[in-house]
Amino acid sequence: MNVCELSREGEFKVTGDPRVLYTIMMMIRTKIVYQGNQALGIAALIATRYSAIRRQFKTIDGSKMERTLLDYQTQQHKLAPMIATIYVQQTVGHYCNEGFGLLQDAVKKGDFGRLDVMHHLLAGYKSIFSDRVLNLVEVARRSAGGAGYSAWSGLPNIYFNSSPVPTYEGDNTVMMLQSSRYLKKMVDRASKGKTIPEPFGYLNKIPALVKLVARINTIDDLLNLELLEEAMQVRAALYIVDVFNKMKESNAPEKTKENEIIAQQKLPMMFAHFDSVTVNVFRQRIEEDIKKGAIRSANNKAVYDCLVKIYILENLSKDNGILMSSGYISGQAFTLII
């Protein structure tokens, strides 16, 4: 598509729709979201193999053999959430890559209808995924003990190559705040009775979600995937109501509210929002693959369900205060998570 012209006299003129230029920026973010998990996958592979072979301390009753690192609960708590995150984020990466392909096809026809939603998804996921990849590569490096610090392990080089990603093509904090603008538009539309499509469908249920209490109390509740996905939706809904109500109540100028009063509170809201969307996309894609025959074994479906449960529980273990204060999850259940 011809967007601009440069005359023989050196005069530069924009002749097409300048919104086309956004797709170039979004293409790079798509690659980060779609391909960024490869580094984490390699790091997890190295750390898991090392943990399966390396033995340390004679802690097995009735045996003089040392225990493998992978048999220690603490090592499992490092590696299992990492592996779950890889599968979940890679699935979402495929979803975003396909969405960007549809956007490109539409733009060629002059249709920019998908631009806003893809900007929202790619800005948010670029921020979340690149941060998680970098942090989890470091977890993998440290889980390999002294060997992980050796260049021979490959882990320091993976960390080095992953470290610029949270800042190039947009600082992650700025990306998340930019993404919050489209979330506000969707929430406003939902409050006026307009239906918000998937994967943002939970926004249609915000009034009902924030009223749910005493839903997770036992170990069986924590193993119920439907309840776990609901918990992610409720957490996001509670944050959204809290943040946007504070914005409405403030009499400060809009730019002051956005940059000096509410900005920091938006970040956990956006993480919760994208975590909810992530779980929705992952589960929908698995169901689609089952219908298409790509997943044929019930055992495979059980593995994917287990992975997303681990992903959700890991996220809830780090940010569940708002669910506890609302009464959605009991204190007893919280102790079971950690």
- What amino acid is encoded at 44 in this protein? A
Closest listed residue to residue 319, CA positions, set 274, 280, 252: 274
pTM given for the model: 0.90
Q: Which residues pair with 14 in a beta bridge?
A: 4
pLDDT (0 to 100) of residue 303? 92
Phi-psi region of 62 (alpha: psi -120 to 50; beta: other; left: phi over 0): left
SS3 label, residue 64: coil
- Distance from C-alpha of 246 to C-alpha of 244, rounded to nearest angstrom: 5
For the segment 269-326, what is each residue's pLDDT rounded down to a tens digit?
Answer: 999 999 999 999 999 999 988 888 887 777 888 999 999 999 999 999 887 789 999 9
DSSP letter, residue 258? I
- 61-76 tens-digit pLDDT: 777 888 888 888 899 9
Q: Could you tell me the pLDDT band of residue 33, with boundaries at 50, 70 and 90? A: very high
pLDDT confidence of residue 54:
84
Q: Which pLDDT score is estimated for 2?
A: 65
Q: Which of 5, 66, 98, 169 is catalytic?
A: 169
Give the tens place of pLDDT for each residue, 85-95.
999 999 999 99
Q: What is the pLDDT of residue 14?
A: 74
* pLDDT tens per residue across span 137-181: 999 999 998 888 999 899 999 999 999 999 988 899 999 999 999
The answer to whether 289 and 197 are in contact (CB under 8 A) is no
Quote the radius of gyration of the chain (alpha carbons, Å).
22
Tokens of residue 213, six digits: 């209490």
Count of CA atoms in the C-beta half-sphere (13 A) of 38: 8
Query: 25 pLDDT band (50/70/90 cuts)?
Result: confident
- Mutual angle of helices 263-292 and 115-143, in 10-degree steps: 90
CB 133 within 8 A of CB 39: yes
Is residue 231 within 8 Å of 316, Cβ to Cβ? yes
Q: What does the pLDDT read at residue 208?
A: 96
Q: Which residues pair with 216 in a beta bridge?
A: 329
Task: Delineate the domains of the chain, giving CATH numbers in brackets.
Answer: 4-170 (1.20.140.10), 176-337 (1.20.140)
The answer to whether 169 is a known catalytic residue is: yes
Our CA angle for 290, 294, 300, nearest 5°, is 70
User: Does position 20 have pLDDT exceeding 90, yes or no?
Assistant: no
Residue 260 CA to residue 257 CA, distance in Å, equals 6
Rounded to whole angstroms, how far apart are CA atoms 330 and 121?
Answer: 32
Across 23-32, 50-59, 183-192, the highest mean pLDDT is recorded for 183-192
